[in-house]
Chains A and B, each alone.
Chain A
Amino acid sequence: MKSERFGAHNRSLASGHMWPFSVMSGIEMWRNLSVLLLAGSFGLTTLGCDWQKMQEIKEPFKLYNPEDEEKPILVSVDRLKRGQEQYILYCRACHGVNGDGQGPAGIGLIPPPRNFASEELAFKFGGVAAGELPTDEELLRVIKGGLAGTAMLPWDLPDETILDIIQYIKTFNPVWTEDEIGEVVEITEDPWGGTSTSAIQAGKKLYHSKAQCVLCHPYYGSQEEVYAWSMELTGRASTNFREDMYEPQAKMSETYGNKLLPIDFGRQPIKAGATPKELFRTIASGIGGTAMPMWKDAIPDKEIWAISHYVSYLHKMKDKPAYKDMMAKLKAAPPYTPPAKPTEDEDAE
């Protein structure tokens, strides 16, 4: 159909005279164009711009056997195929068909989906000593629980399905054949018997002085309070406060290749959970690939529990005016001048 509006240049297209449409009428040509466009978009969505063959499973996968290095534990082809099917269905959109975290839905996510194929494979919340490979049960826990504040949702799938997927994921990385699995860090019983004011108070003092969490994480107390707490717990008063004491200090992660922020508990989500028990696990194990070290055996379990209760309490203030007011007041306070005393015991955090 000729249209004067589009001028002489487009006349040939509108009337079907342009190659390759020269043999069609205008309407037929537009119909074919729309079919083409539909076909194209259908192709794009199903392929997901992820035109890579998923690996063909031909043989069992070998898992490192700590009892006998020569006899690896085998994961059967059947199990791997089941796991692969489920992985492609649920996980591959973000984690990628090759497990590299570069699935079409994963690109642009912050934090990015885990790259299971990485040479520097490090699971953050594996419940084992930071840096070690997690057990199947720990991976199951993370997948079922999800990671708060990230795109990793809690997956409500049967345990068997998830365990099959976990075995399949191991095929992306030879490290599962070469290295032994880590030991799960024991979560001992809470000696405080649950959340209480005394647990939170004890945790607050430890956090700001003896355990020195404040070297990376923000302070949540005034200089005067910290001076008193450190004197009480260590006999040495903190007097050197970093200028950005109410902010966390960004730390370079050599594993992930970028700076990561130690959590500000009143402002950010706590990925592996903010109940005291979940915090105990994270603090005791450390966070793989990051600056957060393993605290189990560095300080007594009772102290880790106290700090867990305190951090859990802090996190409950997230998004509430109480937190904002508290931090505003702390930041506005003038620097504290400690009372003059013999210089002997003054020392840094």
Chain B
Amino acid sequence: MNVLKISSITAFAAVTFFACSDKGSEPAKKPESPKPAATKPAPAAAEKTTNTATKAAAPATEGSGSVVLSGVVNFTGDIPKEKKIDMSSQPGCVKVAKDSMTNDYRIKDGKVQDVFVYVKNPPKKKYNVPKEPVVLDQVGCRYTPKVIGVMVKQPVEIINSDPMMHNIHPLGKNTFNLAMPNQGMKLKKKFKKEQVLTPIMCDVHPWMKSYAGVVKHPFFAVTDEAGAFSIKGLPAGTYTLAAVHGALGEKTTEITVGTSGEVKAEFAFTAP
């Protein structure tokens, strides 16, 4: 075999190789999942509580701090318009729905409701999980409340107050999917994994959307109509405080708390 024959066979083989390897390395199609904008898992690193020059560190026992960390989440700019929900595919809802507009941006007087505010890096220890359940209700083919804050393995009581079936279907790390056909039916479930935010949906009524902020510690809150939050018992130290909204995304700020008193924090979201 002469050089030209060898080189042309090699060239052909090389073309085959490269043509096929391109195909083989095509990334598998990834289904899109509804990731709430810019959620980040809480950093696993154990942060040592640091002192500021003027404050003494308190032992990091849970609830020992009597500090009240509070504040407000603000919004500036044009609030995105809510859309009308077409419930005609499920006529039963047309009857019972009290409100058929989306509620993705509950913002009044520049204050944002439904923001999950939490400490990203509290002292790493095993915190007491409350036995008191957090309640999530399905009323008028909507979720009430829109955002719940709950600890890992804390009971969540899910109620169907509607005269028709819903299925409760959280997505992401805490996924399950249970039928709730009867009015008044209650289920007690626990979320096993930390996730901010776990989206919750109903497949029968696809417009239904709510969120759960699930963390391993008790230092979180959900803002109310006045955009206000309040977190108690954080031990002295410096932390990252985050505010996460299902549609607006996440904002963070650094805070330092002492052994007593009040600490204020504010967040500023703008129009997307």
Contact = CB atoms under 8 A, between A and B. Distances in A.
A131 B175 contact: yes
Contact of A115 (B9, B20, B28): B28
A199 interface: no
A215 interface: yes
A292 B177 contact: yes
Contacts of A293: 167-169, 177-179, 203
A122 B173 CA distance: 11
A328 interface: no
Interface of B: 2, 4-5, 7-9, 12-13, 16-17, 19-21, 23-26, 28-34, 88-96, 163-165, 167-169, 171, 175-181, 185, 199, 201, 203-204, 206
B245 to A, nearest CB: 19
**How many A residues touch the partner, as a band?**
35 or more
A348 B206 contact: no
Given A51-B20, A216-B204, A252-B206, A294 B177 contact: yes
Contact of A36 (B8, B26, B93): B8
Contacts of A183: none
A271 to B, nearest CB: 17
A282 interface: no
25 contacts: A40-B12, A40-B13, A48-B20, A101-B28, A117-B28, A120-B31, A131-B175, A215-B165, A216-B203, A240-B95, A241-B91, A242-B91, A252-B206, A254-B34, A256-B31, A257-B29, A286-B177, A288-B177, A291-B169, A291-B177, A299-B179, A347-B92, A348-B91, A348-B92, A348-B95
A32 B167 contact: no
A39 B6 CA distance: 13
A294 B26 contact: no
Given A39-B12, A100-B28, A243-B88, A129 B176 contact: yes
A116 to B, nearest CB: 10
B17 to A, nearest CB: 6
Interface string A247-263: 00101111111100000
Contacts of B175: 122, 131
A131 B177 contact: yes
Contacts of A236: 163
A51 B21 contact: yes
Nearest to B4: A20
A44 B20 contact: yes
A347 B96 CA distance: 9
A123 to B, nearest CB: 12
Contacts of B167: 291, 293
A36 B181 contact: no
B201 A254 contact: yes
A210 B34 CA distance: 32
A190 interface: no
A242 B91 CA distance: 6
A242 B90 contact: yes
A28 to B, nearest CB: 10
Contacts of B21: 51-52
A211 interface: yes
Contacts of B164: 212, 215, 348-349
Contacts of A274: none
